Amino acid sequence: MSKLTLTTEGDRYIVVTRRFAASPEAVYRAHTEPALIQKWLLGPEGWSMPVCINEARPGGKIRYEWSNGKFGFHLTGEYLELVPYSRIVHVERMFLPDPTPDNHVETTFAPDGGGTLMTMRMTLPDTQTRAAMLSTGMEGGMEASYVRLEAMI
């Protein structure tokens, strides 16, 4: 039913795949152009991204700031490698509020029929980082699930 797959690869990586009904060029642009990123990279319902800096070139900086009106946190990163419309490699860390260890992320966009298969391979966060991420996302995540559940009943 779900188009998304999420698996662990060994004890070091998480691999996520997702298909999109758009060209690799469009999906790539939606990952690198701030005006587009701000429309979808928001996590649970109720969050927005008032600040989005994305310098899509090797060595370019990334800075995303999220807010739900009451709380906020941010992420910084740097691009290591960009192959237009097919591959992005970057590192990022969240500030919760202390910086988490660098997360190394490799994202590829491959033509798939008339659409795109995206594969994202990221570092499995360490124990402490997972705990911090969990405490940040939990309340909102659960809430979004309940809203959807209500809509189904």
Interacting positions 36-75 with another protein (CB under 8 A): 36, 39-45
Is 25 a residue that touches another protein (CB under 8 A)? Answer: yes
Is 22 a residue that touches another protein (CB under 8 A)? Answer: yes
* Cα separation values, 147 from 46, 79, 143, 150, 151, Å: 11, 36, 6, 5, 6
Is 142 a residue that touches another protein (CB under 8 A)? Answer: yes
Distance CA 103, CA 40 (A): 20
Cα Rg of the chain (Å, integer): 16
Binding mask of the shown chain, residues 103 to 132, with x at each position contacting another protein by CB under 8 A: ---------------------x--x--xx-
Q: Which is nearer to another protein, 11 or 150 (CB)?
A: 11
